[in-house]
Structure 1
């Protein structure tokens, strides 16, 4: 603890905990959720990250999602297509290759919040936008897997995929053609469309939302208010209002949670830190409920492989060996966040037990740096024969206390192996924009990524997922990693349908990753929320945002 200089942070937390006022009497029909990082781009399919998904999924539902039991289910459709039920079929392409035809039927009486029906035409519009090279949609469950859609009737449509893929039954949000169609026509490029989309210029337009809740109030930087959608055809929401109330820092969230001004708060990303949750539970545990489940969300450091220093594998390996990840999770998370040795948690059925684990080894790290031509200088920082210093910037999101603490810890740890780390805390919009997606960082960036059973690891590792102007800056391959062997393994995964074939493909991908280290894995988030004890049917989810099931939440 002394080594990492965290006493000040914990002392501040203790002061706040001790000074908080008694909890106010709650309104059982409402829920106030504390949040950090107000979004300036609310479009559900552009520049998507975990924080955005936690904020828009109250009112906009994906076509399918993984439920808290880890099962892929229909959200807006009647039945999940499969090879077994005949709704998913293999087809012969004109060039002799195999593709797929996948048929969905939308829920009866499914409507947008303004009363307009959600139809197959909305799906066709979404697919048209996704495949426009001038518009870059984020690739979680990308619509670009389909090239065309056959509209059978208003509710039924068939997606035509040019390739066989194991994720054929997992699809993201649908956009309202009657609202966004004219905007897209008038703004056919990414920059102008993002500025003019009604999700950013008129977010309380009921026609933008198709879920159990509608966005009724939008105050920039202050709050979002969600109220029941009268046109939602499923079970009606149990709460009359859910308000997302924003604070400038996580300490304020803790204070307001304990005073009763807010009723629930996520535990990073977008909320309080895990260490703050542990402090609250130790001192005021009987006043609140703690919803936790082991996570699959990987906190990682992307490295800019265009940087000559980081292009050297020995340097990347030395950096990972010089970071005491076990100490980080012990100090900050009471050991409750598991150290990541690769892309997948050992809880995953696809986890490869044979990958190399880079345990903390500063001596070996120093040897590798010496082999790479770096020797300690007079000030303790390594230099090479050209006189270049081994100095790297580490950027992450401002206001995220956990990441800011980790950046400072890494700075301290890597100094011991003669590496100078310069932490940089960047506002979320800038981080998710030019810094990461246009790869304008010079050294290292820290953020998280999740590989659900339907998400291909290609989004962060494939050559064609390196964000460039040619692909409208889409993809999470921020490192700029390109390797033919990895691309081949990713292609094998994309064609693997059986669990055994998928496991084999994932094993290769993990093995190549551990050899190349295009990213530095840190740990896996445990999914967590803190709330008032009267919040019921609040089920944590590992793969998709729990807000998809917010209609079930109630207060006793």
Structure 2
């Protein structure tokens, strides 16, 4: 990675740049004639989105549906190139990192304003980071742990400090969760911010948010400070973007095929073929970060490592992918997706071994009952899987696979808002939480016992490995720490990786230059309609 104007240590360049081909977005969009390739201003883009995420504040939620919306409302200090992993300027025109990775110095672009007319200055950055550091340490707040403050030099120069080295912070500044908010927004009640009272400097503003119905974004005509990755250097081309919440996947694809929408988010594998040509194309982006797993609550029955390990061995990832998915999904080969910097193939720890799984259950006293479900002390081995609606088809297939080793998995499908509250309360045995982020520090966000620790893991050597990868000052040390952390997680069956996925959106050929960010959010700034 490299900075612009100023130089900072290129300690972490190697692994990210080596993934250039894997990190890139891909699309089957048709080629254009010269006239058709010229962007046109105006029009309304209609997006058939998933369920209402319930909160639009990027500091408070990491749900992809919410970030698809908020990414257009807030700008970040930096951006991450989806093709190379490089961190490049955005609101910050230059940046440097101290040799011990504890001090990050930034120089802001001049003339940038929030949508309320106030300036984007060092004081606003300080207010944003100060507020973020006070939130519970999950989501974006986890990436600012150890924060000692932002020292304002003047309106455009500031230094962000940490008590210990922070190898991941610069990449964090490229994410929507670190989008810079107005000083007034940083002081607002969190509930109000969830309802959309978020003022950023992005190319769009929130015109309306109707829960369970949709969101309308309106263009900012004065916008003129996109990231250095943008082709369009001025205001967004589209007058308006409408996200209509459509939880049922078939209804989303139906809206696209009947021209009631120009984008259908998260098209199911069975429907993707109809949008590969004939006036449509697919926007595909492999998701970096933590792969979709079975996330395991270590309280209750899953405190027993034998049972957790039986689940790890009892899933046939190859059969899952070939049965439920298509070429855009791969069997998991690690806790991390292969598109994540510092990934190492751990396939040997994820071999399908149903006989070994049964032996582990027997060793813990769980014997087959009359219907095949394991029983101990008169109780069936039943695990409740908490799932936000709608039910993904893969979950039923995993349920069937685990039944063959004697585990009864109950699919507990609830509305997204109820899902969040029950997950926070620990009211589940299983959930499935992936983290889309092009940095291995996503591991710490999920598995550190010093954070939210939703899975109730006990303190262990894993905490040390996670801290070591976050504080490493050489690429070699960080690689060692990441590899050690992943190996520990799999050796102790602290999670059950399932598959490596991609976002796949169906797009009308009327939509041009719609792309995905490095973290798979929709980048609407360059998009236009012909």
Q: CA deviation at 1:132?
A: 3.2
Residues 1:351 and 2:351 are matched in the alignment: no
Q: CA deviation at 1:124?
A: 1.8
Inter-partner Cα distance in structure 2 for 1:368 and 1:199: 45
Alignment equivalent of 1:71, drawn from 78, 86, 93: 86
Q: CA deviation at 1:544?
A: 4.9
Match of 1:303 in 2: 296
Match of 1:117 in 2: 119
- Contact map agreement 1:66 1:544 (CA 8 A) in 2: no
Inter-partner Cα distance in structure 1 for 2:74 and 2:319: 40
Match of 1:252 in 2: 251
Relative to structure 1, the CA distance from residue 348 to residue 117 in structure 2 (aligned partners, 3 Å threshold; closer, same or farther) is closer
Match of 2:199 in 1: 208
What TM-score do you get using the length of structure 2 for normalisation?
A: 0.84
Inter-partner Cα distance in structure 1 for 2:152 and 2:54: 34
Residues 1:370 and 2:376 are matched in the alignment: no
C-alpha distance after superposition, 1:434-467 (max 9, x if no partner) = 22223222x11123223422734211111102x2
Inter-partner Cα distance in structure 1 for 2:518 and 2:92: 22
Q: CA deviation at 1:519?
A: 1.0
Alignment equivalent of 2:512, drawn from 536, 544, 554: 536
Secondary structure of 1:286's partner? coil
Secondary structure of 2:349's partner? coil
C-alpha distance after superposition, 1:35-67 (max 9, x if no partner) = 111132222211332222112111112222322
- Contact map agreement 1:437 1:478 (CA 8 A) in 2: yes
Alignment equivalent of 1:88, drawn from 81, 97, 101: 97
Question: For residues 114-153 of structure 1, what are the structure 2 equivalents within 5 Å?
Answer: 114-132=116-134, 138-139=139-140, 142-153=143-154
Inter-partner Cα distance in structure 2 for 1:326 and 1:482: 31
C-alpha distance after superposition, 1:312-371 (max 9, x if no partner) = 112112112222221121122124311113222234452223563322222221111111
Relative to structure 1, the CA distance from residue 99 to residue 28 in structure 2 (aligned partners, 3 Å threshold; closer, same or farther) is closer
Residues 1:334 and 2:343 are matched in the alignment: no
Match of 1:460 in 2: 446
- Contact map agreement 1:299 1:524 (CA 8 A) in 2: yes
- Contact map agreement 2:381 2:406 (CA 8 A) in 1: yes
Match of 1:187 in 2: none
Q: CA deviation at 1:198?
A: 4.4
Match of 1:315 in 2: 307
Inter-partner Cα distance in structure 2 for 1:362 and 1:238: 54
Relative to structure 1, the CA distance from residue 498 to residue 413 in structure 2 (aligned partners, 3 Å threshold; closer, same or farther) is same
- Contact map agreement 1:130 1:136 (CA 8 A) in 2: no
Secondary structure of 2:169's partner? coil
- Contact map agreement 1:462 1:482 (CA 8 A) in 2: no
Alignment equivalent of 2:214, drawn from 207, 223, 236: 223
Relative to structure 1, the CA distance from residue 435 to residue 274 in structure 2 (aligned partners, 3 Å threshold; closer, same or farther) is farther
Inter-partner Cα distance in structure 2 for 1:219 and 1:346: 38
- Contact map agreement 1:59 1:213 (CA 8 A) in 2: yes
Inter-partner Cα distance in structure 1 for 2:419 and 2:109: 38
Residues 1:173 and 2:179 are matched in the alignment: yes
Q: Is there any run of 5+ residues in structure 2 with no aligned partner, and where?
A: 1-39, 226-233
C-alpha distance after superposition, 1:248-304 (max 9, x if no partner) = 41111111110000001221xxxx3233324x24xx742211122333251111111
Secondary structure of 1:169's partner? helix
Inter-partner Cα distance in structure 2 for 1:138 and 1:370: 38
Inter-partner Cα distance in structure 2 for 1:231 and 1:175: 18
Match of 1:287 in 2: 279
- Contact map agreement 1:58 1:213 (CA 8 A) in 2: yes
Residues 1:383 and 2:375 are matched in the alignment: yes
Inter-partner Cα distance in structure 1 for 2:62 and 2:473: 27
Residues 1:407 and 2:395 are matched in the alignment: yes
Inter-partner Cα distance in structure 2 for 1:349 and 1:36: 29
Q: Is there any run of 5+ residues in structure 1 with no aligned partner, and where?
A: 1-25, 82-86, 91-97, 184-192, 468-476
